[in-house]
Amino acid sequence: MYEQVSHSLLNRILDELKPDIRKRDLRHFYTRLGANFYAIHSLFFHLYGQRDDFEQQMVRLVEVMASRYIERHKDLKKLDVLREKDHNWFLSQEWVGMALYADGFAGNLENMCSHIGYLQELGVNMVHIMPIQECPKAASDGGYAVSNFREIDERFGTLDDLRALAKNMRKRNMLLTLDVVVNHTSDEHEWAERARAGDEKYSQYYYIFEDRNIPDMFEETMPEILPETAPGNFTFDERMQKWVMTVFNDYQWDLNYSNPAVFIEMLDIILYWANKGADIVRLDAVAFLWKKIGTTCQNEREAHLILQLMKDCSQVTAPGVLFIAEAIVAPVEIIKYFGEDAVIAKECEIAYNATFMALLWETVATKNANLLNQGIQSLPDKLDRATWLNYIRCHDDIGLGFDDSDIARAGYNPLAHRKFLVDWFTGAYKDSPARGVIFGHNSKTGDARISGSLASLAGLQSALESGDESAIQQSIDIILLVHGMIMSFGGIPLLYYGDEIGTLNDLSFLEDEHKAKDTRWIHRPRLDWEKAGQRHTHGSVEQRIFSGLQKMIAVRKSIAAFSDYNNRELLESGNPHLFVFMRTSPFMQNENVLVVGNFDNAPQSLSLSDLGNRGQFGFGQLQDLYSGESPKSFNDQLVIPPFSFYWLTDRRTF
Ligand code: GLC
């Protein structure tokens, strides 16, 4: 389609570009700009077209894209072209991720290089290094309150260290994921300091108000994200004597995306880190990007348009770079962060599957997969060329973010059920072996979330305390079972550092006044390398978990049916303790895998005839790809041991 308005604008913009940009050979850049320009122009116009300086802002936008393209290293440009040719590369089952803090895992970025071997031993080939950009020592929100988007905090090292690490990882075909905190800055960021000093340009980077009039209107419909530690959504700045929008902590100032200069700055920063070697950029708190009075200020349509625009622009400069949407919102909303269309309205290629995560925990607590089945059934299909990040634990709390209607359909009272889950995971419920703690209790709504390490939540801590070997084994089984689910569900499994050796809650955060009030620090440990060394001691807890995961990862990588082409079918098993689904191979016939997870502490049976006729899948001679063994069956009933899973194939050799 030839679109006259955008083409003539593009011609004008190209004429106006700075001479040093015009002089370069930008063949690939111009091809991509031409291909994406109609969309970029339409979106930019939709968001900012009413402004007098619209065209100047467009020129600036193109200049940023071109300048970052010119700076992009030739190795990265080569990768861009390769990935354009093989554009489904990230849907492969061969990717397995881990999220970690560089200091918690290895001390700093430089030491990361000497610990990559450990990740490779496990099979991890995608590493999300938690925020490393400069942030205040105290008010840091674990790195999510950035005071300088272009420097690395001295706690982690230098840009050179990162460059070396990125290069090292690239050589090993490992992907690097870095954060860009797009929704807010630290109140110590230069932009905030300038706004405080009365600089008009930077005042418009934030939402700043003279009095409570507008803030009060916003508050009528905005929920509180951190009700205990940072109630409300606005903070009075003493120095400025004005109110600033601070949805998260009072030191995190929300950026104002109704200002195109903010959009351009943040795009520039995304491309800056893409040029530092990030294969994937994790966009933090994307649901919050647009604020509108009378709404919750989450999941607004404009937030989606901003992400589409970021994607289109980033595709022009660095098309090999993917986005992860961190949007921990209701299931029907999460899915929208992939975009409306895989080609013309794409947002992020990857999104956290917070729904699956919360449902898995619910199933661990209840030993019943009803809600899990219900929740996954209600999850709308995602776009093509989009994939989930499936995880059990991460640096954040566990929010019980399932739909109330799903809870009701699964036969529970939503309020009572949520309370049960909080009690279960904090160990308050009778006989619960979990040892989590509460995060973000809201005394007005009664809402609460949960912090705690995977091992402590799964009962390993209490089992070790009591020395009960069967309880220890049971918690290890649970840890492996939930991983068996995220490895086979479809998407990139994202492990969390320390979980691979059963790291327990870390209470040291209580001694640090800047951390003590935020219980999420209980599960942000310094990896204990002595403990990690135990992974080679046969029979140790560490060895049982580590080698189980190692094997799981190796097997996952060999199963084409585990790649993510929306090739999953949920199956009704008739047994409430089981979660059953079929993964069909997108490339070859007859290479389907039946996944069965038993969340109960007793063996359960699966009646194969109840599953109906599943195409070519022959239920006669099944083999579990994980253990290599044939599962026990009795008549037509397959027996699944307590807290275990099968990845079943009907072929002897796969
Ligand atoms: C994201 C981060 C979380 C942080 C918040 C505010 O949700 O994962 O750790 O507190 O954004 O930046």
In a domain, 605, yes or no: yes
Count how many domains the chain has. Answer: 1
Counting beta carbons within 10 angstroms of the beta carbon of residue 653, is it exposed (0 to 12), middle (13 to 18) or buried (19 or more)? exposed
pLDDT at 619: 65
Q: Is the CB of 352 under 6 A from ligand 1?
A: no
Return d(Cα 78, Cα 95) in angstroms, integer: 20
Annotation says 284 is catalytic: yes
Question: Looking at the domain assignment, is residue 92 inside a domain?
Answer: no
Distance separating alpha carbons of residues 566 and 4, to the nearest angstrom: 38
524 in a structural domain? no
Give the pair of three-digit tokens for residue 250: 């009072």
How far apart are the C-alpha atoms of 589 and 395, rounded to whole Å?
40
The mean pLDDT value for 291-307 works out to 98
Q: Is the CB of 179 under 6 A from ligand 1?
A: no
- Among the listed ranges 151-155, 303-307, 582-586, which one has the minimum average pLDDT value? 582-586
Q: What is the C-alpha separation between 346 and 140, in angstroms, rounded?
A: 32
Grade residue 503 by pLDDT with cuts at 50, 70 and 90: very high
The whole domain housing 590 covers: 567-653
- CA–CA distance from 272 to each of 99, 149, 192, 347 (Å)? 21, 9, 21, 19
Contact in structure between 561 and 584 (CB atoms under 8 Å): yes
Q: Which residues, in sequence order, are CB contacts of 347 under 8 Å at separation 6+?
A: 304, 307, 308, 311, 323, 325, 336, 337, 338, 339
Asked whether 399 lines ligand 1 (CB < 6 A), one says no
The token pair at 218 is 């916003």
Higher pLDDT, 444 or 541: 541
Residue nearest to atom 9 of ligand 1 (CA): 396
Q: Which of 130, 254, 284 to mutate to test the pocket of ligand 1 (most atoms within 8 A of CB)?
A: 284
Q: Which of 103, 237, 326, 506 is catalytic?
A: 326
Closest CA to 522 of 457, 424, 427, 452: 452
Residue 242: pLDDT band with limits 50, 70, 90? very high
Q: How far is the CA of 326 from the centre of ligand 1 (A)?
A: 9
Burial of 78 (0-12, 13-18, 19+ CB in 10 A): exposed
411 confidence band (pLDDT: 50, 70, 90): very high
508 domain-assigned: no
Residue 217 Cα to ligand 1 middle (Å): 25
Contact 74, 280 (CB under 8 A): no
Indicate which CATH number applies to the domain containing 635. 2.60.40.1180
Pocket test for ligand 1, best of 101, 135, 141, 398 (most atoms within 8 A of CB): 141
| Residue appearing with tokens 């919750």 | 296
> What's the confidence (pLDDT) of residue 616?
57
For residue 588, being part of any structural domain is answered with yes
Whole-number CA gyration radius for the chain: 25
Cβ 99 under 6 angstroms from ligand 1: no
Question: Which atom from ligand 1 is nearest to the alpha carbon of 248?
Answer: 6
- Whether 141 is a known active-site residue: answer no
Q: Which of 94, 103, 254, 284 is catalytic?
A: 284
Any atom of ligand 1 within 6 Å of the Cβ of 144: yes
**Token couple for 149:** 């988007």
The atom number, within ligand 1, closest to the CA of 226 reads 10
pLDDT digits (tens, 9 = 90+) for 589-608: 778 999 999 999 999 999 98
**Which residue, judged by its Cα, is nearest atom 7 of ligand 1?**
285
248 C-beta closer than 6 A to ligand 1: yes
- pLDDT tens for 562-581 read 999 999 999 999 999 999 99
| 144 CA from centroid of ligand 1 (Å) | 6
Distance 253 CA to ligand 1 centre (A): 13
Distance of CA 643 to the CA centre of its chain: 26
| Cα 564 versus chain centre, distance | 16
Residue type, 275: N
Cβ of 188 below 6 Å from ligand 1: no
Distance from residue 246's CA to the centre of ligand 1 (Å): 13
Is 383 within the bounds of a domain? no
- Does a structural domain hold residue 103? no
In a domain, residue 496? The reply is no
pLDDT tens string 6-40 = 999 999 999 999 998 988 889 999 999 999 999 99
